[in-house]
Structure 1
Amino acid sequence: MDAGRRRVAVVRTLLVVLGLTVAACSPAEQPAAVRLPPVKAGFDYQLGGAYGPPDGVEVVSRDHAAAPAAGRYNICYVNAFQAQPGAEAEWADLVLRDANGDPVIDEDWHEALLDLRTPDQRERVAAKVGAWIDDCAAKGFQAIEPDNYDSYTRSHGLLSDGDAQAFVRLLSAHAHEKGLAIGQKNTSELAGRRQENGLDFAVAEECGEQENCDEYTAAFGDHVVVIEYTDEGLATACTRWGGSLSIVRRDRGVVPEGAAGYVRKTC
């Protein structure tokens, strides 16, 4: 073993001793130490508005516009693959358009998909999302959650999973440079590629409802955060994976505590 490889081996050993994880990276990147969310931890999903974490909560996910919760492990949400409703103009020519020139829309959330078909387009989108990641790091978040990794499945064949993976690799490299872990949001069909894509843990919506949490654990082990939106989904997730994963049931609007419609339950 040459001196360079010995040094890497020593660094990796020290990081394990310190309880840190070495983030996956391509051969051209320098390894970055990131801290993963604690497993089987109390979790709260606060995308609809920040509020004081309930007792027992160790991990909180909040929008990048919010401040992290003091004394908790904080995941920073960014809508990385689609434009927020009404924000298409901010993305200009980076909005994905069909043959008629119309924006391709995620009908469930009324969000325009972003055009990730070329390296140049991916770099330009990543530059804007990267600024949000920088803000997350500056605020003190420990990880990011880039949403809509699976937007290619709603693109009417205009985007491929290869486009999505090439783009997420740009985000993971940037997150790791900032010392942040990065979670794979849903998209269980690509979980087996998590190492080459630089993804550290998973954020899975409704894997209890869909009975497929094991598709995430097969790739990420116990580093899976689960959000359910129905009592039935919560019951299944808790029965089958409650002994090892972080699981919460929230209302679909993920509204703040005290707001109409607020729901939060755990195993």
Structure 2
Amino acid sequence: MHRDRRRPYRALGAALAATGLLLAAAQTSSTAAPAGTAPVVENHAVQDVTLPPAHADFDYQIGGAYTPPKGVKAVSRDHTAKPADGLYNICYVNAFQAQRGAEGQWDEDLLLRDANGKIVYDGGWHEALLDIRTKEKRERIAAKVGGWIDDCAAKGFQAVEPDNYDSYTRSKKLLTASQAQSFIRLLSERAHENGLAIGQKNTSELAESAAANGLDFAVAEQCGQYDECDEYTEAFGDEVIVIEYTDEGFANACEKWGDQLSVVRRDEDVSTPDKAEYVRETC
């Protein structure tokens, strides 16, 4: 069952990457931490992808890149940042919603609108939802997001994390789970063409369809808080990265899944260490 939850604010960062199709060869860092490999879904099969190291010390840096703490083996950073040397790097892209204040960077008809013509926003973060209701619009949005995915590969990331897969649950019933899955399959194909693994972000209710949707691992926010981490492990085994934002959720995640999964506690704004609100703990 979906539970509405707060998600950390992602800074808009640098100008968005170009949307043209790049012919960048898939890159996997020669200094990446050892990790397993998995074959991609048949209709995406271009080459195998490298999965995140399971149960590794992880740091969530989508609010700003900084030198990873000692012992960290894997990190997630915004697509505008550079990957961390010597680590497994996951590239964050906001795939189903526009960044706050970035509506003008999208064609107007690609912003989801209600019956009155008003843009539909994610209430918690005031991000405009993207209109994935038709095949034509999904393909146009995927072309833009795909440009960012191409850039992730060119920079040397090993995986991509498309956020807001669950935006259909905040769409005033204008979007459906089926449409979200049709769109994520376009992104899975683009990632796999670049040799990148692709993570399912939240959306535990669709985890059982992960293989059909071409998804390789999971990034689960607050599954300890909502006691739903097992919904991800049933689909992804130990290839689940858990981010908690409360003491309660962190304690539960560590107690029940800390010996199997990567678990990190971060502050809700995913701050950098120079900020007073910065929090990072591991089991």
Do structure 1's residue 261 and structure 2's residue 273 form an aligned pair?
no
Contact persistence 1:25–1:173 (CA under 8 A): no
Do structure 1's residue 53 and structure 2's residue 63 form an aligned pair?
no
- Mapped partners of 1:45, 1:248: distance in 2: 8
Residues 157-166 or 251-260, more deviating: 251-260
Could you say which residue in structure 2 is the equivalent of 1:90?
105
Give the partner amino acid of 2:141.
Answer: V
**1:11-45 alpha-carbon deviations (Å, 9 max, x no partner):** xxxxxxx952112233xx43420000011100000
Do structure 1's residue 25 and structure 2's residue 42 form an aligned pair?
yes
Identical aligned residues as a percent: 67
**Aligned pair partner of 1:185 in 198, 201, 211:** 201
| Number of residue pairs matched by the alignment | 248
Please give the secondary structure, in 2, of the residue aligned with 1:255. Answer: coil
**1:174-196 alpha-carbon deviations (Å, 9 max, x no partner):** 00000000000000000000011
Please give the secondary structure, in 2, of the residue aligned with 1:57. Answer: coil
**1:105-140 alpha-carbon deviations (Å, 9 max, x no partner):** 001011000000000000000000000001000000
Give the partner amino acid of 1:130.
Answer: G
Could you say which residue in structure 2 is the equivalent of 1:198?
214
Greater helix share, structure number? 1
> Which consecutive aligned stretches of 4+ in structure 1 deviate over 4 angstroms post-superposition?
none
Q: Unpaired runs of 5+ in structure 2?
A: 1-34
Do structure 1's residue 71 and structure 2's residue 86 form an aligned pair?
yes
Could you say which residue in structure 2 is the equivalent of 1:13?
none
Larger relative contact order, structure 1 or 2 (CA cutoff 8 Å, min sep 6): 2
Contact persistence 1:24–1:200 (CA under 8 A): no
Kindly state the Cα deviation for residue 153 of structure 1 after the two structures are TM-superposed: 0.3
**1:129-165 alpha-carbon deviations (Å, 9 max, x no partner):** 0000010000000000000000000011110000000
Mapping for residues 241-252 of structure 1, pairs under 5 Å: 241-252=257-268
**Aligned pair partner of 1:228 in 239, 244, 263:** 244
**1:55-112 alpha-carbon deviations (Å, 9 max, x no partner):** 1100000000000000000000000000001111211210000000000000101100
Residues 31-40 or 78-87, more deviating: 31-40
Contact persistence 2:36–2:51 (CA under 8 A): no
Contact persistence 2:45–2:192 (CA under 8 A): no
Larger radius of gyration: 1
Contact persistence 2:254–2:263 (CA under 8 A): yes
